[in-house]
């Protein structure tokens, strides 16, 4: 089955560049695999030599032995299977092969059918059946790794991902990764391993994203880019798309600083290879605008958006152009150019269908501009129409509708209509809870609900939402993400409000530790966490520690110079208060150490009960 192995190798190369929705699509395959592996069944060659009977003038051939007839028949079945183009033809040929080949000999054929079924995506259960059959046939000796076994495991990971069996998928893909690592250590050619390794890393990123583990997925996407860099020329379009994919992944975890160089690299490659007016350049510039917005460089963001719009207009990509115009209006709002934003949106709204999601998004942006102008009645009318459209589309586009509900809730929050904002966020949460890949969004929404409940005095109700948010965002973004720090800071405020200073101090200590790493010790939010920690220790009567952390806050404010003079004076006033209390009649405290940080604590109710 040498030809079958070669076809599987080429199929693996195609899969490695097309195995997920964020895949690196490419017309040029990875270099052809030339190595023949020990598990392949070699085709038998035979020659029938005619001979002349000495007693006649008639040339006769000797009868073909039964063994050779069997070999010929098997070879013909293999050729028929290899030449099959459609799934139906392959399945029919495979059925004929089942009559003469044993299960081990059918391993590669089972793998090829499984790969084709998975690529078509129409019958994942049948693909799973062939994948399991292939693995059982090819993985007879667990201690002897092979590339076909790695391909089987990658296929099983891919099919289980389609079936939303994410834990099973992750298990198969991790095992495939280990097998490929062993093959590399044993000296198997990189041209053989790379396409399968790329497919495995890409699928791992997909599965981890679907499980909400976005920070871990980034590592797999970085490895995908490294494989591409070793495989393609430095200015290849494949590397442009790979850099943009990685930039998008960083944007998804709100890490705009890390996204920027990858986005700029993608733009550089696509501009050089395709010219300024290519669609790929337009997509790069749209993304770059989002990155600059995240970095609060709104003028640069708008500049990139305008350039992208010109290209999209030249290519008559009207749907993308409408979205870009909405983005541009939002950038104008961020710059305080409200009238200009409203004018842009008025031009866009007439190009949208009456009950379309796009019209709803236009109205939400319009409401944002009107809200900033304090035109609250007009703002509410826009929001009400938008909600009427979105309500009908919850089942069709749950994630997009959830995002819009979250944005609308912010407008109600700005207008101090907190109850309406909370109700909308709860609707958002109900939609996101059914989407496992949106765990990061679910955590952010839970955090906002907790914050609003805290703001409106519903402290006890706020705590479960904040706890849930912290756990989800840690899983999605990692334990040191600044968003996790904000949640712990809010939890500390909640416990302080409930007169539980020890629990509050623990939460503030974690918040400060996270913000020291993610924002730096002189960031205003880090300083606030430090002062909160000082306050909690003061409430506990532990004035030595309270004074220590308040002094740290003062030192940090001093580094801001004249821009923070008021904050510095207030911090100094609080320090003097603490010193007076420390020397007062209630200062007979038992000296204590700061609460240990260690790992970021898993939040449970029992762990926070006061002793």
Q: What is the pLDDT of residues 400-435, one digit of tens each?
A: 999 999 999 999 999 999 999 999 999 999 999 998
Predicted local distance difference test score (pLDDT) of residue 51: 31
In the predicted structure, residue 224 carries a pLDDT above the cut 60:
yes
Q: Which of 286, 311, 335 is the last residue of a domain?
A: 335
Cβ proximity of 363 and 349 under 8 Å: yes
Q: Which of 335, 355, 370 is the last residue of a domain?
A: 335
Let me know whether 238 and 96 are in one domain. Answer: no
Find the range with the poorest average confidence among 121-135, 168-182, 586-600. Answer: 586-600
Which of these, 313, 323, 256, 317, lies nearest to 286 by C-alpha position? 323
In the predicted structure, residue 58 carries a pLDDT above the cut 90:
no
In a domain, 404, yes or no: no
Let me know whether 177 and 254 are in one domain. Answer: no
Kindly state the tokens that stand for 495. Answer: 């416990």
In the predicted structure, residue 374 carries a pLDDT above the cut 60:
yes
- Bridge-partner residues for 59, per DSSP? 52
pLDDT band per the 50, 70, 90 thresholds, residue 605: very low
Angstrom CA distances, 436 to 158, 401, 432, 442, 473, stand at: 17, 16, 8, 9, 13
Predicted local distance difference test score (pLDDT) of residue 311: 97
pLDDT band per the 50, 70, 90 thresholds, residue 53: very low
More confident residue, 278 or 185: 278
β-strand 59-60 against 51-52: which pairing, if any? antiparallel
Let me know whether 100 and 195 are in one domain. Answer: yes
Length of the chain: 611
In the predicted structure, residue 61 carries a pLDDT above the cut 60:
no
- Bridge-partner residues for 51, per DSSP? 60
- Tally the C-alpha atoms within 13 A of residue 96's C-alpha that lie toward its C-beta: 16
Let me know whether 94 and 17 are in one domain. Answer: yes
Chain centre to alpha carbon of residue 143: 34
In a domain, 400, yes or no: no
Range of the domain at 174: 1-44+68-231
Predicted local distance difference test score (pLDDT) of residue 264: 98
Kindly state the tokens that stand for 75. Answer: 């070879």
Let me know whether 488 and 547 are in one domain. Answer: yes
In a domain, 177, yes or no: yes
Instruction: Kindly report, residue by residue over 501-519, the tens digit of the pLDDT.
Output: 999 999 999 999 999 999 9
In the predicted structure, residue 436 carries a pLDDT above the cut 70:
yes
List the beta strands (DSSP E) in 56-98.
59-60
pLDDT band per the 50, 70, 90 thresholds, residue 40: very low
Q: How far apart, in whole angstroms, are the C-alpha atoms of residue 436 and residue 582? A: 51
- DSSP characters over 320-363: HHHHHHHHHHHHHHHTT-HHHHHHHHHHHHTTS-TT-HHHHHHH
DSSP letter assigned to residue 564: G
In the predicted structure, residue 32 carries a pLDDT above the cut 90:
no
CATH code, domain carrying 290: 1.25.40.10
Q: How far apart, in whole angstroms, are the C-alpha atoms of residue 215 and residue 255? A: 10
Kindly state the tokens that stand for 555. Answer: 């030192």
Q: Which of 313, 335, 357 is the last residue of a domain?
A: 335
Predicted local distance difference test score (pLDDT) of residue 55: 39
In a domain, 348, yes or no: no
Q: What is the pTM of this model?
A: 0.78
Let me know whether 120 and 254 are in one domain. Answer: no
Let me know whether 187 and 272 are in one domain. Answer: no
Let me know whether 6 and 21 are in one domain. Answer: yes
Q: How far apart, in whole angstroms, are the C-alpha atoms of residue 492 and residue 485? A: 11
Average pLDDT over residues 354-359: 93
């Amino acid at each position: 089955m040498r030809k079958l192995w070669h076809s599987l190798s080429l199929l693996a190369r195609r899969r490695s560049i097309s195995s997920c929705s964020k895949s690196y699509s490419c017309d040029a395959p990875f270099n052809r695999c030339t190595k023949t592996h020990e598990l392949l069944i070699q085709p038998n060659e035979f020659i029938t030599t005619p001979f002349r009977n000495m007693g006649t003038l008639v040339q006769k051939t000797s009868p073909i032995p039964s063994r050779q007839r069997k070999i010929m028949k098997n070879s013909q079945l293999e050729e028929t299977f290899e030449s099959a183009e459609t799934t139906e033809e392959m399945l029919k040929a495979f059925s004929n092969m089942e009559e003469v080949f044993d299960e081990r000999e059918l391993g590669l054929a089972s793998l090829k059918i499984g790969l084709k079924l998975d690529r078509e995506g129409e019958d994942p259960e049948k693909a799973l059946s062939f994948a399991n059959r292939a693995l059982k046939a090819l993985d007879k000796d667990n201690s002897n790794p092979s590339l076909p076994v790695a391909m089987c495991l990658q296929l099983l990971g891919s099919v289980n991902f389609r079936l939303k069996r994410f834990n099973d998928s992750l298990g198969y893909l991790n095992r495939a990764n280990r097998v490929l690592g062993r093959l590399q250590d044993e000296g198997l050619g990189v041209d053989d391993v790379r396409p399968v390794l790329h497919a495995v890393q890409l699928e791992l990123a997909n599965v981890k994203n679907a499980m909400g583990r976005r920070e871990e997925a980034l590592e797999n996407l970085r490895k995908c880019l490294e494989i591409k860099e070793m495989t393609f020329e430095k200015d290849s379009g494949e590397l442009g798309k790979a850099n943009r994919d990685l930039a998008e992944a960083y944007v998804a975890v709100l890490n705009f600083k890390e996204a920027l160089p990858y986005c700029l690299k993608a733009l550089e490659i696509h501009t050089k290879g395709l010219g300024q007016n290519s669609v790929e350049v337009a997509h790069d510039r749209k993304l770059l605008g989002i990155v600059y917005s995240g970095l609060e460089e709104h003028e640069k963001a708008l500049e990139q958006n305008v350039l992208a719009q010109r290209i999209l207009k030249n290519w008559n990509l009207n749907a993308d152009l409408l979205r870009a115009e909405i983005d541009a209006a939002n950038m104008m709002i961020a710059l305080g150019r409200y009238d200009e934003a409203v004018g842009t949106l008025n031009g866009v709204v007439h190009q949208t269908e009456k009950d379309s999601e796009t019209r709803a998004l236009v109205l939400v942006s319009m409401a944002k501009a009107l809200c900033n102008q304090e035109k609250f009645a007009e703002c509410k009318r826009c929001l009400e129409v938008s909600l009427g459209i979105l309500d009908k589309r919850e089942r069709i586009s749950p994630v997009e509708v959830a995002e819009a509900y979250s944005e609308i809730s912010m407008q109600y929050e700005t207008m101090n209509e907190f109850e309406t904002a909370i109700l909308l966020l709860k609707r958002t949460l109900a939609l996101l809870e059914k989407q496992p890949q949106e765990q990061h969004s679910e955590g952010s929404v839970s955090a906002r609900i907790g914050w609003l409940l805290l703001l409106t005095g519903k402290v006890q109700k706020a705590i479960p939402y904040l706890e849930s948010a912290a756990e989800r965002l840690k899983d999605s973004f990692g334990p040191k993400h600044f968003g996790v720090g904000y949640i712990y800071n809010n939890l500390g405020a909640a416990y302080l409000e409930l007169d539980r200073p020890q629990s509050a101090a623990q939460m503030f200590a974690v918040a400060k530790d996270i913000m020291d790493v993610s924002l730096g010790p002189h960031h205003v939010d880090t300083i606030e966490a430090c002062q909160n920690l000082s306050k909690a220790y003061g409430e506990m009567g532990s004035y030595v520690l309270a004074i220590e952390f308040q002094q740290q806050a003062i030192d940090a404010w001093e580094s801001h110079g004249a821009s923070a003079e008021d904050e510095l004076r207030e911090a100094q006033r609080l320090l003097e208060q603490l010193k007076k209390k420390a020397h007062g009649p209630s200062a007979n405290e038992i000296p204590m150490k700061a609460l240990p940080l260690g790992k970021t604590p898993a939040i449970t109710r029992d762990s926070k009960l006061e002793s």
